[in-house]
Amino acid sequence: MRRRRKYDFYIAVFLTIFTVGYFIYNHVSAESRGIGLYSAALETYKASDYEKAYEEFNKVPAGSSLKPPALFRQARCATNMDKKELAIKKYNRIVRSKAKSSIAPISEYNMANLMYEIQDKRAKRHFKRIIKKYPASDYAVASHYYLGLIEAANPPKSERRMEKSRNKAFIYFKTYIEESPDGRFALKAIDEIKKLGVPLTNYDNLLIAKSYYANGEYIKAKDYLFKTTLAESWSDFAKNEYRLGNKDKGNFYAETGLKKHAANTSNKDVYEVMDNYIATFPTRKEGIEKLNSMGLNSTGADYAAYLNCNEVVASNLKEACYRTLYEKYPNGQFSADSLYNIFMVKYLQKKYYDAQRLGLLHLEKFPGVNSSPAVIYYMGKIAFKLKRYETANDYYKQVIARYPDSYYAFRANFNLYKDDGMFPFLELNVKPVVFPYKKSLDNNLVVKLAYLKDYDLVGELCKNDKFIQSWIAYQKKNYTVSAVMARNGMEEMAVKPPFDDLRWRLVYPAHYYDIVDKVKGDNNPIILQAIIKEESHFNPYAKSAAGAAGLMQLMPATYNEVVKKHNLPKDLSVETANITAGSLYYTSLKRMLGNKDLYTIAAYNGGIGSVTNWFSKLIYNDTDEFVEQIPYPETRNYVKKVLRTYWVYGNIY
């Protein structure tokens, strides 16, 4: 009996091990086969052989994580073959699956669209379900538009119910325009509202005008603005006239609104109008002076005063201007920057105890603002000058830890480790741009699709992820779009990731570095790489309003001078020629400026004549004081941007 039980036990153990092993083998096998089959089917799909691709996607095993996207692709194939009923069935399998999939929202939206096209009444139910289940998605926004179409196309017979249905349709269209004024259906939604013939309020007319404006239909926007009141629409009137090129009318609305109605307008709209207003004057200074002469006392008054302070050069007048602004608007939008500027004046005047007191106030009252890294850095310099060396080092380390990708982290690093020199990085160990995440949601499905080069589906699943959208643009060789998208994504992050995070490579790709390294001469190639990024964002066809062209934004006269000396191609957009010319021009500036890169970077933007003039006019004791006192704001910011970019490139690579 005991032997029998022992035998049964071993059989049970064997069966359990076999079952588990078979399950694991089958799962691994299904996943492995699924990757190969999906990849082959995708190539067939890209070749537009939809019938064959449909059959190949069908072979992806049910146990594979790629089965849902395979079903999705089958639905796309069926749609392209005009087999809408079949496509609906495939989408429905994804929607009804118990396994949660990131493909479900787009699948249900596509299914509802097809149902709408074939006049299937179930479309309405699915559009409503999308709004309820995925309220924050783009699919929910678009569903409002389609629900409006459904309500408008099927009016009930009774007059009372007809009016109710018409109002429902209006609300759906209106909601769509509110959520997506520049969306693909916005203009169509407006046309549908016109057909409904419902009475429009001031708000409705303004909403339509804003949507027309967002879509570049400025004449139509003007028609609807005239149906609103000037008190609520003055900023829209002004912006619209500026877009139409009517500067005088734009200025009329701007002046009227700023004097009478600005208090009830958002800061963003007021500031935008003010910027447009200033741009209509021969010089920026004249426009700012005119704004300040209006005697503004509501929204915009602080911005006008702030712009005026930015124009002041003399340190005593600058301090008085910013102090008045800070005391008048202690909690305003520009109070942090005003306090920072007062702090910097005191520092440059060597009134270190006064500066220290202001710096502590700034760090306590305005944590995490744009000027925070500068304040922390100069608090370190003040501590050093007061012989509090450990405190100084603590401040420097704080800048590097909290704002690792800032210009002031670069300067703090120099002050901590001067033995390594001002420019510690001499070359890059180039690493490729890869998918920005090692892991993702949905069992890494997005990562798998990315490596299978299913860019379209990855883009659909990750519409709001700027880094993934940046990566897709990079794969499609849209390098400028890619870099800008990734930069915007990184700027939105309150806490920056470590430099080995893959997202940094998208913000700072080593694109064209192979050329830079070949033609660098005696220059630091990372500085040249930084100049390319800041000048053109890797667009070889970039051209400025002043006429500077190419990757390194060289003026034609400068380029032609280099071309004559070194026998280069005459086309500014040729990458190798442009970078070579830029490197040679940088070398010539550097030789005239004592081989100092910082001064050369300033001269590359502001001109060598300006830089040599500043040597005699500015009073400074070190690099920091020189940079902070550069009279041209554009050049001052340019130097900081290029050095920041140099620093980040060095840390990433």
Select the highest-mean-pLDDT range: 12-26, 138-152, 311-325.
Answer: 138-152
Q: How far is CA 569 from CA 540, 549, 574, in A?
A: 14, 14, 8
Residue 214: CA count within 13 A, CB half-sphere: 18
In the chain, what is the greatest distance between 2 CA atoms, to the nearest angstrom? 108
pLDDT at residue 99, as a whole number: 72
pLDDT class for 3, splitting at 50, 70, 90? low
Fold assignment, 2-214:
1.25.40
Average pLDDT for 419-428: 88
At the second CATH level, the architecture of 513-652 is: Orthogonal Bundle (1.10)
To the nearest 10°, report the CA torsion of 343, 347, 349, 350: 140
pLDDT at residue 15, as a whole number: 52
pLDDT class for 11, splitting at 50, 70, 90? low
Compare 428 and 23 and report the one with higher pLDDT. Answer: 428
Taking only the tens place, the pLDDT of each residue in 211-261 is 999 999 999 999 999 999 999 999 999 999 999 999 999 999 999 999 999
Taking only the tens place, the pLDDT of each residue in 223-236 is 999 999 999 999 99
Domain-by-domain residue ranges, the chain? 2-214, 215-311, 441-507, 513-652
Q: How far apart are CA 346 and CA 340, in angstroms?
A: 10
Lowest mean pLDDT among 135-144, 154-163, 268-277, 545-554: 154-163
* pTM for the full predicted model: 0.87
Query: Helices 202-214 & 230-243, crossing angle to 10 degrees?
Result: 20
Taking only the tens place, the pLDDT of each residue in 340-355 is 999 999 999 999 999 9
**Is 20 a residue whose pLDDT tops 50?**
no
List beta partners, residue 554: 549
pLDDT class for 25, splitting at 50, 70, 90? very low
Q: How far apart are CA 427 and CA 425, in angstroms?
A: 6
For residue 562, give every residue at least 6 positions away whose Cβ sits within 8 Å of its Cβ, in sequence order, or none.
Answer: 554, 568, 581, 584, 585
**Is 338 a residue whose pLDDT tops 90?**
yes
Average pLDDT of the residues of the chain: 92
pLDDT at residue 4, as a whole number: 59
**Is 134 a residue whose pLDDT tops 70?**
yes
User: In the chain, what percentage of residues exceed pLDDT 70?
Assistant: 94
Taking only the tens place, the pLDDT of each residue in 600-610 is 999 999 999 99
Taking only the tens place, the pLDDT of each residue in 353-392 is 999 999 999 999 999 999 999 999 999 999 999 999 999 9
